[in-house]
Structure 1
Amino acid sequence: MTIIESDVKLAERLATEAGEILLGLQAGSGLTGKDLGKAGDEQANTFLMRALKAARPDDAVLSEEEKDDINRCSVRRAWIVDPLDGTREYGEGRTDWAVHVALSIDGVATVGAVALPGLGLTLTSGAPQPLKPAGTPLRMLVSRTRPAREALAVAEAFGADLVPMGSAGAKAMAVVRGEADIYLHTGGQYEWDNCAPIAVAQAAGLHVSRVDGSPLVYNCADPYLPDLLICRAELAERVLALVAALLET
């Protein structure tokens, strides 16, 4: 009898295996910087697209590295993948990069796996970790290169320490893992940047939303997502109020 792999196990396996491909390339190709990042994007994407076509031939796929097919919007189930989130960090030999594999069903981030290959971890929506206590002081994630005005203002209001970090997936998983308490992003992303992290964070019991408090919706005709908030549930109301006041000024 053929045993069909569950969606969450498939997501976990593919994210992990893509991460292993990327680690092997990083260690053995002799490439660095942008050349390494480009090769990593291509190889991880090729693997994920072939594997998803073989495992779920009737589902749609939206990948950062593929030409978008708008016909996916007519399909209830759409896999949303980022083969290498944090290309710059990967090319620099850092650990704060990730592989995202998610399944959106009817626009909802339902299944997600985020591999952190540099740390030897893959976190999934199917095996949420117990949340650790909040930090003292609170810790606020910001971009390594472009900290957003809103994030800096919220950090100041909370008296939070700033934690610079690379990829969106690495930031989101830092909140899941208890290494930070708030991830607020207002600089624009795409669905592949956050669908898998949102699924994992939501399963762990964290608050996830747009910065106006509305839900994040996936498999849209335009995959651009301007903003998001991932934080501990008890902080969400105050963070959302602070952002609303900032956006009015």
Structure 2
Amino acid sequence: MTDAELAAHLAETAGRILIEVRNAGIFSDKALGKAGDQTANQFLVHAIREARPNDGLLSEEMKDDGARLAKSRVWIVDPVDGTREYGEKRADWAVHVGLAIDGEPVIGAVALPDAGLVLRSDHPAPVPPSPTPLRMLVSRTRPAKEALAVAERLGADLVPMGSAGAKAMAVVRGDADIYLHSGGQFEWDSMAPVAVALAHGLHCSRIDGSPLIYNQQEVYLPDLLICPKPLATEILTIIAGLDTAT
């Protein structure tokens, strides 16, 4: 099984497990999120260590002992991206399984279990052209001020959505055009989605235009931009202007 096949298989299987945990009907919303995180993390950690014992591993739900820093190949996973949405039995949550090689987001799989989909870096498809007006994804609970300002400048419609993975895959699928986040994230929030988006020909960067680099000692990676390449320069220029204005 190739790395990409493994990533997709694990993301899909973890998604099915999470659906079963939710359908058991024995957890309150808050307890459901915790149970889902723990159950999916246990599966993913054991499966990756069994399948790729020589690789490093970073998971949101696992204590990081720093051993991954000495590895070229590091799996970065988020067992439930959008724990709140999962706990509330919404559909806008995801499972992230990705492989960074020498810091680059090379392989990724993002499962959207309620949609029965797994978006993969090894199965790229054309991204539909952007309509007018553009559609910008924002957090449904705490929209970033930069995203709101850029949307106003572009005349873009706002599309509230839950998890980072769900937002990124909405751009990949052509359901939205821009995902700009500046409210704080960690490596597991973006690594697998960025690998998938890059494979589909989208622009992915920090909001200052610098590359997204993974398997760092400090796993806080607070911002990102995912959009079609023709839009990237204009968006980055607007963001730079916002910085100047402040």
Name the TM tier (shorter chain). over 0.9
Aligned-residue CA RMSD in angstroms?
0.6
Q: Among 39, 48, 55, which residue is 1:52 paired with?
A: 48
Q: Among 137, 141, 146, which residue is 2:137 paired with?
A: 141
Report how many aligned residue pairs link the two structures.
Answer: 245
Q: Among 169, 180, 184, which residue is 2:180 paired with?
A: 184
Q: Among 75, 82, 85, which residue is 2:81 paired with?
A: 85
Residues 78, 104 of structure 1: 8 Å contact kept = yes
- Mapped to 2, the partners of 1:236 and 1:178 lie a distance apart of 16
Partner of 2:221: 225
- Structure 1 residue 175 corresponds to structure 2 residue 210: no
Partner of 2:21: 25
Partner of 1:200: 196
Amino acid at match of 1:103: L
Moved over 4 A (4+): none
Partner of 1:163: 159
Report the more deviating stretch, 49-58 or 22-31. Answer: 22-31
* 1:30 CA drift (Å): 2.1
- Mapped to 2, the partners of 1:126 and 1:10 lie a distance apart of 11
Amino acid at match of 2:134: L
- Mapped to 1, the partners of 2:125 and 2:137 lie a distance apart of 20
Residues 135, 180 of structure 1: 8 Å contact kept = no
Question: 1:186-217 CA distances to partner (integer Å, 9 max, x unpaired)?
Answer: 01100000000000000000000001111000
Residues 64, 82 of structure 1: 8 Å contact kept = yes
- Mapped to 1, the partners of 2:51 and 2:132 lie a distance apart of 45
Partner of 1:234: 230
Partner of 1:154: 150
Partner of 1:105: 101
Q: Among 212, 215, 232, which residue is 2:211 paired with?
A: 215
Amino acid at match of 1:233: K
- Mapped to 1, the partners of 2:33 and 2:243 lie a distance apart of 35
Question: 1:82-108 CA distances to partner (integer Å, 9 max, x unpaired)?
Answer: 000000000111100000000000000
Amino acid at match of 2:191: C
- Structure 1 residue 72 corresponds to structure 2 residue 68: yes
* 1:58 CA drift (Å): 0.3
Amino acid at match of 1:157: R
Question: 1:20-53 CA distances to partner (integer Å, 9 max, x unpaired)?
Answer: 0000011114213110000000000000001001
Residues 140, 162 of structure 1: 8 Å contact kept = yes
Residues 142, 151 of structure 1: 8 Å contact kept = yes
